[in-house]
Amino acid sequence: MSARVKVYITAAVLVLIGLGMALYKNLVLGFPMFPGNQQAVWTIEAEVNFLASNESVVASLALPSRSPKISILQEDSASSGYGFIEETSGSMRRGVWSKRNARGQQALYYRIQVYENRSIIDVDSANVPVIEYPGFDEPLETAAISLLDQIREISANNRTFTSQLLLALNAEAPGQNVIMLRRQTKSDEDLAVLVAQLLAMEGIAARVISGLRLEDGRRRQQLSYGVEVLDGDDWEYFNLETGITGFPDRFLLWQRGGQALLEVVGGRNSSVQFSIVENYRGTRELPLNANKNEGAALIDFSIYSLPLAEQNAFKSILLVPIGALVVVIMRLLIGVKTSGTFMPILIALAFIQTTLVAGVLIFLTVVGAGLVIRSFLSRLNLLLVARISAVIIVVILIMAIFSIISSKLGIERALTVTFFPMIILAWTIERMSVLWEEDGPREVFKQGAGSLLVAVIAYLCMTNSIIEHLTFNFPELLLALLGLILVLGQYTGYRLSELRRFEPMIEHFEATEKADAGDTKTTS
Amino acid sequence: MLATPKQLRELGILGMNRRNVSMIAAKNPRHLYPLVDDKLKTKKIAEAAGIAVPRLLAVVSQERSVKDLPRILEKYRQFVVKPSNGSGGKGILVVTHHDGDNYVKSSGDQISMESIQRHVSNTLSGLYSLGGRPDVAMIEALVQFDPIFAEYSYEGVPDIRVVVYMGFPVMAMVRLATHESDGKANLHQGAVGVGIDIATGQPLRAVQHGRPVTHHPDTRHKLSDVKIPHWDRMLKLAAACYDVTGMGYLGVDIVLDQNLGPLIIELNARPGLAIQVANGIGLLPRIKRVDGLTDVLKKPDDRAEWSMREFGML
Ligand SMILES: Nc1ncnc2c1ncn2[C@@H]1O[C@H](COP(=O)(O)OP(=O)(O)O)[C@@H](O)[C@H]1O
Ligand SMILES: [Mg+2]
C-alpha cells in the first residue's frame, strides 16, 4: 500500500469517527449543533459600605444559599486587605470579612453569578425559624386584634386568611386599624415583619423572605421582601403588595428568616447595595443539568466534567486547531508567505483579547519599533542567543512604554498589549530584520502582510460563534479536522500564488508558438 | 493576470507543493541532508570522489586554533574564509592578496590579522550559521573567476545552477548578479537568470523578477550572446554529485575557474523553482522522461550524455 493510500484511509477513518461521535451527541444526547440557545446569566454584586472607626472590624453579610428555580454558577468576594470566610449554620450562609485595623470609608464586595434553572424546586427549609408573636404596645394591640377579627370572619384557612390580610393592609381606602398599624412600617421590610407578626398573633406560622428581582442594569438596588406562610405541610409564598401566591420567577432568594442582612462590628453607617448585570451565554456553557444525561460516557469524559475555570482555558486551546487549519490552507492552497509557520495563530489568539483593530495597531507599532531598534543591535555583532534576549528586553520595554503612554492618554484598549506573546514578537522582529538584511524591505513587507492577513483570517474564524460553539461542544470534530489536514498535506497541486508567478511563462510560450507558426508559414 | 492550473500543467511546471512532497520528501533522504548542508562534509566527499571543488586549505574548528591563524595563513597569498554551515553569502570573507601583515579584501579594503581572527572566532560561535549553532570555519582557495562572464555580471560572480534529478542533469541556468541584487546571484533579489540549453550550453532566454529581459540591466550586454565553455564537463560534474550525496533532487552550483575549469561551489537539497521561469519550460516532462527510463546508467558521464541527447531545445 502506498503512503498516499495509507494517508487517505487514515484520514477517512478519522473523519468518520469524528463526525460519527458528533452526530451521536447531537441526535441521541441532544447537544445542539448551533449556538442558537442562549440563556441569561445574571451577575449580582453586593457592595458593603461603612465607616471604620480605627479598630478591628468584623463585617458579616447574609449570603444566598439555594434558591428555587435558580442555579449558582460562580461566586467570589473581593476586598483587599480583608480576610474572608464563609460561615454556615443550617441552611443559612454568611460571609464574614475581618481586619485587624481599619479606618475611613470601607467598601467590601461579594459577587455571585446565577442563571435560571427550572429543575431546581425547593429547598429544605423546615428548620428556618418562624416569627414569634412579640406583643404590641397599646393602642396597636387593640388595632391588631380588631383587624384580625375582621379578617377571620371573611377567611376560611391559613391561605385565605393571609390573602385577606394583605388585601386589607394594601387597601386603597384603608380602615382605621390599618392606618394605625401601617404608620409603623416605613419600609418593605417593616411591612413584611408586621404581616408575619400579625399572622403569629393569629397562630399561623409565617416567616420573612428577602431576595432580588433579576433585572438587567440595576444599580443601587435594595432587597425586596415577601412572606411565607405554612399551609398544611407546605410553605406558601405571598407577594406583599398584591397578595399573589407562588414563588416568583427570576427571583434570587437571598435570605429566609429574620436574621440581620448585615452586621458590622467596628464601623458605622453601614449599608448594602446591590447591582445586577444580565448577559447571555450559550446553554452549553452552563454546567450540565446533572441528572439529565447521566450515564452517557461521552459526557462523563467530556470537557464539561472539568471545573469552570479549566473549561474556559480549554475554550481557547480548542480554537488553536482552527488557526492551524487556516495556516495550512493559506500556505498550501493560497501560497501566502508568513514569517514563522504558526506565529499567525498566536497573534490571532492575542487579537481575541485585544479586539481586532486595536490588536493590529498594537502589533504594527510594537514590531515596527522593534525593527528600528533591532537595526541598531545588528551593528553590534551579537551572537544569536544574546541578540534574541536583547530583542525580548526591547519588546518588553516597548510594551511598557506603550502601556504607560496610552494609559496617560486614556486609551484603555492599548493596555491589552500584554496579551501579545513577547517571545513570539521578539522572534518575529528577529526574523524580519534578518530578512530585511538579506532580501530587502520588499520581502519584509510581503511576509509581514502575509502573516497579518493569516492572523486576521484565523481570528475571524476563531471568533465565529458557530465555530466556537462546535469546537467547544464537539471536540471530537478535531479528529475530522486532523483527517482534513492529513489530506491537505498530500496536496501536490498548484498554489494560487503560483498561477500568478508562472503566468509570464504562458505568455512566453504562446509567443514562441506563434513565432514558430510564422516561421513555418514563410518557409513553406 | 492569472494562469489556469491547466495551462501550467500543460507546460509541465513543477509547483511548490509537488516539489516538497514528490521531490524533496520522496527523493532526498533526511539523514543525508548534512552531506549537502554542511559545506565541509560536501567538500570532503566530493574530493574523495574526484569531483573538482575549490581546494580546502585549512579548517579552524576550535577557538584555541584561532591564535595559530597568522602561521596558517602566512603561506597563502589569497584565500576565502567561509562558515561551513552558512547560507546566503553570510560570513564569507574573500582575501585577494596580502603582503606582510596587510591583507586586502575583494572590495579593496584593508583588513588586519586581528579582524580576520575575530571573524573566524565569530564564525565558530555561530554568528553566521543557521539557527546560531556553533560552526567551523573553512579556509579555501580563491577561485580565479574566468573573465568570460565579466561583461554579463555586475559587481558579483556568476554561477551556474544545474538541477540534477536522480543523477540526470535536467535543467540549467546561469545566474548573473545585478546592481539591484547587490552583487548576489540570487534571482529573488533581482539577479538575472539565463536558461541554458542542456544539449549545447547555449542561452535560451533570460528573466529578471520573473519577466523576460534581453540585455543585462547594468552592463547592457546582450544576454543571448552568453557562451559557456566546458559545458559537457559541467554537466558530468553535476551528474556525479548524485552518486556522492544520494540526493535524488539536487541543485548543483558551479563556478568557472580560469585555470581549473568548472568547480562545484555548493550543493542544495531544496533547489528553487525559478529555473523553470528562466528556461521558459517546466521540469515535470523531463522528470517523467527520467522516471520512464528503463536502462540503468551507472556512470555519471553516461547520464550527462543521455540528458544532452534528450533535453536539447535548439
Ligand atoms: N572559493 C571562493 N572563491 C571566490 N569566491 C567565493 C568562493 N567561495 C564562495 N565565493 C563567493 O561567495 C558566494 C557564496 O558562496 P557559497 O559557497 O554559495 O555560500 P552560500 O551558501 O552562503 O551561498 C559565491 O557565489 C561566490 O561569489
Ligand atoms: Mg550560494
Residues A411-458: tens digit of each pLDDT: 766 667 777 888 888 888 988 888 888 778 888 999 999 999 999 999
Q: Is B233 within 8 Å of A524 (Cβ atoms)?
A: no
Question: Closest ligand to B82 CA?
Answer: 1
* A211 closest CA partner among A85, A46, A40: A46
Record: contact A440-B188, CB cut-off 8 A? no
- Listing DSSP states for A420-473 in one string gives S-HHHHHHHHHHHHHHHHHHHHHHHHHHHHHHHHHHHHHHHHHH-HHHHHHHHH
Helix/strand/coil for A235:
strand
Q: Is B83 within 8 Å of B91 (Cβ atoms)?
A: yes
Q: Flag whether pLDDT at A362 surpasses 70.
A: yes
Record: contact B15-A493, CB cut-off 8 A? yes
Phi and psi torsions of A404, nearest 5°: -65, -50
Report the mean per-residue pLDDT for chain B.
91
Q: Flag whether pLDDT at A521 surpasses 50.
A: no
Q: Is A53 within 8 Å of A296 (Cβ atoms)?
A: no
Q: Domain A140-256 carries which CATH code?
A: 3.10.620.30
* A198 closest CA partner among A242, A149, A235: A149
Chain B environment of A381 (Cβ under 8 Å): 122, 127
**How close is the nearest chain B Cα to the Cα of A382, in Å?**
7
What is the pLDDT at residue A413? 65
pLDDT band at B157 (very low <50, low <70, confident <90, very high): confident
pLDDT tens for B6-60 read: 999 999 999 999 999 999 999 999 999 999 999 999 999 999 999 999 999 999 9
- What integer is the mean pLDDT of A280-303? 56
Evaluate: CB of B88 within 6 angstroms of ligand 1.
yes
Record: contact A509-B280, CB cut-off 8 A? yes
Q: HEC states along A434-446? A: HHHHHHHHHHHHH
pLDDT band at B230 (very low <50, low <70, confident <90, very high): very high
Instruction: Looking at the CA of residue B88, tell me the nearest atom of ligand 1.
Output: 22
All domains in chain B, ordered by first residue: 5-52+146-310 (3.30.470.20), 56-140 (3.30.1490)
CA distances from A331 to A200, A324, A348, A460 (A): 79, 11, 16, 17
pLDDT band at A316 (very low <50, low <70, confident <90, very high): confident
Instruction: Looking at the CA of residue B159, tell me the nearest atom of ligand 1.
Output: 25
Distance from the alpha carbon of residue B169 to the mean position of ligand 2, in angstroms: 19
Q: Flag whether pLDDT at A302 surpasses 80.
A: no
Q: Which helix (H) or strand (E) covers residue A224, if one does? A: strand A224-231
Helix/strand/coil for A306:
coil
Evaluate: CB of B138 within 6 angstroms of ligand 1.
no
**Distance separating alpha carbons of residues B147 and B145, to the nearest angstrom:** 6
Per-window interface: A 406-445 vs B, CB < 8 A: 438-440, 443
Q: Does A513 touch chain B (CB under 8 A)?
A: no
User: E strands along A65-123, which residues?
Assistant: 70-78, 83-89, 92-116
The length of chain B is 314
* Contacting residues for A358 by C-beta, under 8 A, at least 6 apart: A413, A414, A416
- What integer is the mean pLDDT of A145-161? 89
Using CB atoms within 10 Å of the CB of residue B243, give its burial: 0 to 12 exposed, 13 to 18 middle, 19+ buried: middle
Name the grid cell of B112.
Answer: 588586519
Please report the number of interchain residue pairs, chain A to chain B, with beta-carbon separation below 8 angstroms. Answer: 87
Helix/strand/coil for A77:
strand
User: E strands along A142-239, which residues?
Assistant: 206-213, 218-221, 224-231, 234-239
Chain B environment of A498 (Cβ under 8 Å): 8, 13, 15-16
Q: Is B148 within 8 Å of B229 (Cβ atoms)?
A: yes
Name the grid cell of B56.
Answer: 580546502
Evaluate: CB of B140 within 6 angstroms of ligand 1.
yes
Query: Grid cell 556525479 — which residue?
Result: B240
The length of chain A is 524
Instruction: Looking at the CA of residue B141, tell me the nearest atom of ligand 1.
Output: 1
- What integer is the mean pLDDT of A310-318? 75
Q: Is A42 within 8 Å of A114 (Cβ atoms)?
A: yes
**Distance separating alpha carbons of residues B239 and A61, to the nearest angstrom:** 87
Name the grid cell of B119.
Answer: 571573524
Q: Is B84 within 8 Å of B137 (Cβ atoms)?
A: yes
Cα angle B105, B106, B111 (rounded to 5 degrees) comes to 10
Using CB atoms within 10 Å of the CB of residue A246, give its burial: 0 to 12 exposed, 13 to 18 middle, 19+ buried: exposed
Helix/strand/coil for A26:
helix
Residue of B nearest to A335 (CA): B16
What is the pLDDT at residue A494? 95
Q: Flag whether pLDDT at A18 surpasses 80.
A: yes
Q: How many CA atoms lie within 13 A of A392 on its CB side?
A: 10
* Dihedral over Cα of B272, B274, B279, B281: its sign: positive
Exposure b/e, A308-334, CB count within 10 A at least 16 = b: eeebeeeeeebbbbbbbbbbbbbbbbe
Evaluate: CB of B78 within 6 angstroms of ligand 1.
no
Q: How many CA atoms lie within 13 A of B140 on its CB side?
A: 22
Instruction: Please name the amino acid found at residue A44.
Output: I
* B38 closest CA partner among B70, B94, B82, B2: B82
Least confident residue range of A23-37, B210-224, B298-312? A23-37
Q: Are strands A206-213 and A83-89 parallel, antiparallel or unpaired?
A: unpaired
pLDDT band at A8 (very low <50, low <70, confident <90, very high): very high
The structure's pTM equals 0.71
Q: How many CA atoms lie within 13 A of A142 on its CB side?
A: 3
Q: Flag whether pLDDT at A381 surpasses 90.
A: no
DSSP code of residue B163: E
pLDDT tens for B238-280 read: 999 999 999 999 999 999 999 999 999 999 999 999 999 999 9
Q: Is A409 within 8 Å of A401 (Cβ atoms)?
A: no
Output the CA torsion A184→A189→A191→A192 (10° steps).
-140
Record: contact B5-A494, CB cut-off 8 A? yes
- What integer is the mean pLDDT of A67-79? 80
**Distance separating alpha carbons of residues A155 and A163, to the nearest angstrom:** 9
What is the pLDDT at residue A522? 39
* B201 closest CA partner among B249, B154, B164, B169: B169
- What integer is the mean pLDDT of A322-349? 92
Using CB atoms within 10 Å of the CB of residue B271, give its burial: 0 to 12 exposed, 13 to 18 middle, 19+ buried: buried
What is the pLDDT at residue A483? 96
Question: Closest ligand to B55 CA?
Answer: 1
Report the mean per-residue pLDDT for chain A.
83
What is the pLDDT at residue B256? 93
Q: Which helix (H) or strand (E) covers residue B99, if one does? A: strand B93-99
**Distance separating alpha carbons of residues A125 and A128, to the nearest angstrom:** 6
**Distance separating alpha carbons of residues A506 and A251, to the nearest angstrom:** 73
Q: Which helix (H) or strand (E) covers residue A211, if one does? A: strand A206-213
What is the residue with the minimal CA distance to atom 21 of ligand 1? B87
Listed by start position, the domains of chain A span 140-256, 317-474
pLDDT tens for B92-149 read: 999 988 877 788 888 788 888 988 999 999 999 888 887 778 999 999 999 998 888 8
CB-based neighbours (< 5 A) of ligand 2, an ion: B 266
CB atoms near residue A269 (< 10 Å): 9
* A267 closest CA partner among A61, A110, A87: A61
Name the grid cell of B309.
Answer: 541527447
Evaluate: CB of B280 within 6 angstroms of ligand 1.
no
